[in-house]
Amino acid sequence: MTESRPRRSVLYMPGSKQRALEKAATLPADALILDLEDAVAPAEKVAARDLVCETVKGRPFGAREVIIRVNGSDTEWGADDLLAAAAAAPDAILIPKVNSPEDIAAARSVAGDIAIWAMMETPLGILNAAQIAAAPGLTCMVMGTNDLVKDLHAAHTPDRLPLITSLGQCLLAARAHGLAIVDGVYNAFKDDEGLRASCLQGRDMGFDGKTLIHPLQLAITNEVFAPSAAALEEAEAQVTAFEEATAKGEAVAVVNGRIVENLHVENARRLLAEAAAIAKLEQQAA
Ligand SMILES: CC(C)(COP(=O)(O)OP(=O)(O)OC[C@H]1O[C@@H](n2cnc3c(N)ncnc32)[C@H](O)[C@@H]1OP(=O)(O)O)[C@@H](O)C(=O)NCCC(=O)NCCSC(=O)C[C@H](O)C(=O)O
Ligand SMILES: [Mg+2]
């Protein structure tokens, strides 16, 4: 069963930028990815690792979920990143460019009980999504749409048609194995309209939330991925009507002219639990 922890907004921040790390502790992000990989220049990698791991040990981020993205195991920094991240004990460690379940097993052999998240961003990783999703210790998939577009020789288009197969394949794999899954970034961080469209598409496909690159993107993302007031009102009505129906020995209720069966009630309860988890997180962050 997918955890009900909110992951509407998952903000990347460059691990080399102290100001961004300080600012992150005040931002309304559900989760923070402290990045040692693509957002950090080679000359700054070692200093960024020290800064990120020392910061995480100080636990300054309140109730926000904290994830460290390490460099790949095929780089000169990967092994030391993983050791240092494991010692800092974040909520999860994010492995870039995962190609196979063996990549998760290798990370887990160092990370122990710390949850592993996987960047799904290579053609081979997408083809192996089901096996990766079944790997012990993995709790969340993160779409890496920039790397995917590059490796597929595709283009960033508003409808994301070139990525739909990859997004759908990872969603199927994640849901089949009870994992959380968050969508890729929207690069034009000052384009609110484009961001909203991308969030709506991701939400309607089934993603739990979206990865972000700038604080400007938080408000729209948090709004789109939260259940709306109308959806919650309908969910409450469905649960009530169904409970009344079952008390009378019936298996079907009707709300707003539409049937309500046990599967609809299961979905309604999921939405209500999600809203409660968001309210709790926002209260803790206030
Ligand atoms: C995109 C940026 C380089 C823009 O930086 P900058 O010009 O400094 O932004 P602003 O001046 O507008 O910043 C305003 C304030 O906000 C803080 N800030 C900015 N970005 C962040 C952030 N990501 N997290 C926290 N805080 C942030 C600034 O410090 C300013 O604060 P203040 O001093 O109080 O005014 C920059 O936003 C950036 O570097 N973003 C992250 C880029 C990144 O992480 N890239 C890697 C991840 S994307 C990826 O790799 C996806 C995947 O792998 C794939 O393949 O698709
Ligand atoms: Mg990437």
What is the distance between the alpha carbons of residues 39 and 100, in angstroms, rounded to a whole number?
24
Pocket test residue of 16, 214, 216, 218 for ligand 1, highest count of atoms within 8 A of CB: 214
Query: Which atom of ligand 1 is least distant from the CA of 12?
Result: 44
CA of 247 to the centre of ligand 1 (A): 54
Give the residue-averaged pLDDT of 110-134: 98
Residues 144, 119 contacting (CB under 8 angstroms): yes
Choice among 19-23, 123-127, 151-155, 217-221 with the minimum mean pLDDT: 19-23
Q: What is the ipTM of this complex?
A: 0.97
- CA torsion angle 50 53 58 59 (round to 10): 150
What's the pTM value of the predicted model, to 2 decimals? 0.96
Query: Which atom of ligand 1 is least distant from the CA of 145?
Result: 56
CA of 116 to the centre of ligand 1 (A): 24
CA of 100 to the centre of ligand 1 (A): 30
What is the distance between the alpha carbons of residues 211 and 184, in angstroms, rounded to a whole number?
5
Over the stretch 36-69, which tens digit does the pLDDT of each residue have? 999 999 999 999 999 999 999 999 899 999 999 9
Pocket test residue of 33, 170, 212, 213 for ligand 1, highest count of atoms within 8 A of CB: 213
| Average pLDDT, rounded, for the chain | 96
Over the stretch 7-31, which tens digit does the pLDDT of each residue have? 999 999 999 999 999 999 999 999 9
CA of 147 to the centre of ligand 2 (A): 5
The residue with tokens 């070139």 is: 162
Over the stretch 189-246, which tens digit does the pLDDT of each residue have? 999 999 999 999 999 999 999 999 999 999 999 999 999 999 999 999 999 999 999 9
Amino acid of residue 94 = L
Annotated binding site for substrate: 69, 121
Counting residues of the chain whose pLDDT is more than 70, the rounded percentage is 99
Amino acid of residue 25 = A
- Which superfamily, per CATH, for 9-225? Phosphoenolpyruvate-binding domains (3.20.20.60)
CA of 13 to the centre of ligand 1 (A): 6
What residues are in contact with ligand 1 under a 6 Å CB criterion? 11-14, 19-20, 23-24, 35, 38-39, 119, 121, 144-147, 184-185, 189, 213-215
**Domain segments of the chain as ranges:** 9-225, 229-285
What's the burial of 146, exposed, middle or buried (CB within 10 Å: 0-12/13-18/19+)?
Answer: middle
Query: What is the SS3 string spanning 178-241?
Result: CCEEEECCCCCCCCHHHHHHHHHHHHHHCCCEEEECCHHHHHHHHHHHCCCHHHHHHHHHHHHH
Which residue in 63, 114, 119 sits closest to 90, CA to CA?
Answer: 114
Pocket test residue of 18, 23, 122, 167 for ligand 1, highest count of atoms within 8 A of CB: 23
CA of 20 to the centre of ligand 1 (A): 7
| Nearest CA residue ID for atom 4, ligand 1 | 214
Give the distance, in angstroms, between the CA of residue 247 and the centroid of all CA atoms in the same chain. Answer: 39
